[in-house]
Amino acid sequence: MSEKTTQERLGLGLSGGGLRASFFHIGVLAQMAELNLLRHVEVISTVSGGSIIGALYYLHVKALLESKADADITDQDYVNIVSNIEQDFLAATEKNIRMATFSSFVANFKMRFLNYSRSDRIGELYNEWLYQSVLQNAGDPVEMRNLKIYPGGQMDFHPNQHNADRSAKVPILVLNATALNTGRDWQFTAQTMGEPFISKDDPIDTKPIRLLQANAYGDIVPSQQNFPLGHAVAASACVPGLFDPMSVSGLYSDLAQQQEIRAQLVDGGVHDNQGIEGLINNGCSCFVISDASGQMDTQNSPGTGAISVLLRVSSVLQDRVRTEGLQHLMDSRGTHNVAFMNLRKGIEIKEIHWVDQDSVQAPDTIIAPTSTNFGVHPDVQDSLSKMRTDLDAFTEVEAYSLMLDGYLMSRDDLQHFKDHAHCMRAANPAGNRTLPETPWKFQAIAPWINNPTDDYRRQLEIAQSTFGKALMRFVWLKVALLVVIAVAVYFLWPQIKTLLLSSVPVYVFVGAVLIWLINDMAPKLAHKFRFLELLRPYAEISKATARAAGLLLATVFIKFYLYFINPLYVEQGRVSKLTKP
């Protein structure tokens, strides 16, 4: 076996962007499979929604490479993998991962009272719904340390040393999160986890703490050696504000301060939403970047309030990070070595002229949309670029549109990349296309994507909303909600009227103040006023009761939504229900 490191290495970057990104990436993977490129991918660096689908793809590749000899693996095998993912992924996510995170009474109880968070719960769902069934004897849950690929049972195999001798490359999977402790990238691989190596004399990154990465999971504290794949993906897709940071405890401590350093991980997109750093760190020379991330919009009148300005500044910083990362990649590696697919590609751009000294403004210069060049109507491309970056249920219409868009958009770019990239000259992939045994399921939306009907446009418009989509889609549901509210007001009106017309008795006011003092102030002041210690048990009981009541009501509502409303929304979004163009 050769001990040399492969000189030309193809890397695949799958951006963040929720399930919108996941479905778009499936289309790009399908195009890569047809062009016989997937067998040459040596590094897969993923972020957030890209990690959700990237981990699933990697598991299928692991199963393939460990079950067939290198000489027997064909490009058709990779097409079959993407074909299976295309169907299985949509079926799993139609169950609404985001809402399901809050649908378990037991899990919700643990979130309130134990060292357990929403991120832990969604990590369990990723494992249960997506990853557990791919590999035999993978353990439950699937663990990061068990993801190494051993082709032909070769236990000493390492991609950096042995891929040069293989036709079907063994990829390295890098799941990217962001460490709130240091602001650096935190990478999960099959070998280890932590912040990537930084040179001791690095003149730029001079933060006072560097969390060094262990050589292997077997070298770290036992409690973290079996870190689950689902939790790694949850950390990579941990949207700040929506999910609690994923905690990694016991791995580091500040010896000088005698204090534990608990790594708090959030969405990898905060640091690098395209996964570029993970590809560069692993020596890639050619890059396929699939970018379906949420991008900064433009505003004619930005808000000037404190919150509006802070949110806008955050968007500006994220946009700057994205632009600089991509520009540096293309400038340093050459545009011919980078295939870049962007969900906003081909959208109309309007250049607005200034008002001159005579108070006259020239007409706008319109840079015409070009999405029709790859077979997508400009209005459809614009709608897809605005689709929500969420983890809820996507319908067939929404998912297939994103898949087909990625598939069509990437066709010419990937073909050009295949013909001109340095690493492709060395790899010499097969020239003919490898087609799926049956047409891609997502091609069912093809008649609408370039000739949208009113019904199709309406579905894509609704798909841009994070909340209230079912109410927008079903008029009867909106009417039913109004009827329920009206009936409730009718029966409760006497009590409401009495409350509105009467003054609040003093004893009610005093009682409310006492309850507040017991619940909130007594525990905080107990260290100063010892007698308040007597009230601590009552405060805890009161808080626990309020939490339990709120938890019960919220869980009942979510279960109702998942059992009744979610299936209706998914069903109305079947392609078969669309009006024909």
Question: What is the full DSSP assignment across 480-503?
Answer: HHHHHHHHHHHHHHHHHHHHHHSP
Q: Which of 154, 85, 486 is nearest to 77 (CA)?
A: 85
- In angstroms, the CA 483 to CA 487 distance is 6
Q: pLDDT tens for residues 335-382?
A: 999 999 999 999 999 999 999 999 999 999 999 999 999 999 999 999
> What average pLDDT does this structure show over 124-148?
94
Give, for 281, the enclosing helix (H) or strand (E): helix 276-281
The packing angle between helices 454-462 and 378-385, to 10°, is 20
**Cα separation of 58 and 420, whole Å?**
26
- pLDDT value at position 520? 62
Q: What is the pLDDT of residues 59-89, one digit of tens each?
A: 999 999 999 999 999 999 999 999 999 999 9
Give the integer Cα–Cα distance in Å for 152 and 64.
Answer: 11
Checking if the pLDDT of 408 tops 60, the result is yes
Count other Cβ atoms within 10 Å, centred on residue 267: 27
Q: Residue 52 and residue 269: Cα distance in Å, rounded?
A: 13
The predicted structure's pLDDT at residue 135: 92
Burial of 45 (0-12, 13-18, 19+ CB in 10 A): buried
CA separation for the pair 384, 393 (Å, rounded): 16
Query: Omega before 141 cis (within 30°)?
Result: yes
Total Cβ atoms within 10 A of residue 424: 20
In the block, residue with structure tokens 């370039």: 450
CA-only gyration radius of the chain, Å: 27
Cα–Cα distance, 325 to 272 (Å, whole number): 8
Band of pLDDT at residue 258, cut at 50, 70 and 90: confident
At 3 the pLDDT is: 39
Six-digit token string for 125: 């769902």
CA distance 195 to 202: 15
**Mean pLDDT, the chain, as a whole number?**
90
Give CA–CA dist 90/190, Å, rounded.
26
pLDDT at 541: 62
**185-188 and 172-179: which strand pairing?**
antiparallel
Q: What is the DSSP secondary structure assignment for residue 246, as one 8-state letter? A: E
- Give me the helices (H) in 35-184, please: 49-67, 75-93, 97-100, 105-113, 118-126, 159-162
CA distance 545 to 519: 11
The full DSSP string for 204-251 is S---S---PPPSSGGGS-HHHHT-BHHHHHHHHT--BTTBPPEEEEEE
Q: Residue 234 has which token pair?
A: 């949850």
Maximum separation of any 2 CA atoms in the chain, in Å: 89
% pLDDT > 90, the chain: 68
Express each pLDDT in 441-464 by its tens digit. Answer: 999 999 999 999 999 999 999 999
Q: What are phi and psi of 462, to 5 degrees?
A: -65, -35
How far is Cα 309 from Cα 492, in angstroms, rounded to an integer? 42
Residues 140 and 132 sit within 8 Å (Cβ to Cβ): yes
- pLDDT, mean of residues 545-553: 72
Other Cβ atoms closer than 10 A to 474? 15
Q: Sorting pLDDT into bands at 50, 70 and 90, what band is 501?
A: confident
Q: Which CATH architecture has domain 10-464?
A: 3-Layer(aba) Sandwich (3.40)
Residues of the chain with CATH 3.40.1090: 10-464
Take residue 382 and report the two structure tokens written for it.
């614009």
d(CA 228, CA 33): 28
The pLDDT tens digits of the residues spanning 216-242 come to 999 999 999 999 999 999 999 999 888
Reported as a pLDDT band with limits 50, 70 and 90, residue 303 is confident
521 or 497, greater pLDDT: 497
- Pick from 281, 267, 123, 251: which is nearest to 189 by CA? 281
CA 339 vs CA 84, 348, 411: distances in Å: 25, 21, 10
- In whole angstroms, what is the distance from residue 146 CA to residue 97 CA? 25
Sign of the C-alpha dihedral, residues 356, 361, 365, 366? Answer: positive
